[in-house]
Structure 1
Amino acid sequence: MTIKPLADRVVIKMVEAEETTKSGIILAGNAKEKPQVAEVISVGPGGMVDGKEVKMYLKEGQKVLMSQYAGTNVKIDGQEYIILRQSDILAVVE
């Protein structure tokens, strides 16, 4: 099953948190930070949203930073995704 977002919506999947620090220390489950970096899975077509023209500038496969409590969590075929507005994306990670 695929997810096709509407209007200015974006489907993202969270990137797994690091298991070890840069110095090689293995982190316990509760010591890991909740990741805010996600990969763009699918992008809506944009168009008129609330009477304003919205141009979509995100592309599939990009890594992005998102607002911590933004979007709606959905689970499809055992995978967890978040659907949110493009305006809830804070930055593109390069």
Structure 2
Amino acid sequence: MISSQSERYLLTREITDAAVGRGSFLVDGVDGSLHEVHATADVENGEWIEEYLERVRGIERDDPLRSRIAGLIDSDQRLEALRLVRTSAPDLAAREAK
């Protein structure tokens, strides 16, 4: 993770000299590409990592509901899977849930 700041702020530490509105930058360890991390991202807790992996790397986020439904379908419990979908999304019609 790389952060940037104005040279003047680094010299004076006066908030009026600070560059604002920019986040940190991430250098991708796989291909060396540079990506801006949004200024509002919680860099310390790493909550932005999943978004980065999905947006840049194309890795889907883990969806516990989807995994549970897939598990029910794989174990031939299709009716239970359909009930779970309908419970989780009550606005869906039976045909849409299926």
| Same fold at TM > 0.5 | no
Compare CA radii of gyration and give the structure with the larger one: 2
Please identify which structure carries the higher helix content.
Answer: 2
Whose relative contact order is higher, 1 or 2, with alpha carbons under 8 Å and at least 6 apart? 1
Shorter-chain TM range is 0.3 to 0.5
Please identify which structure carries the higher strand content.
Answer: 1
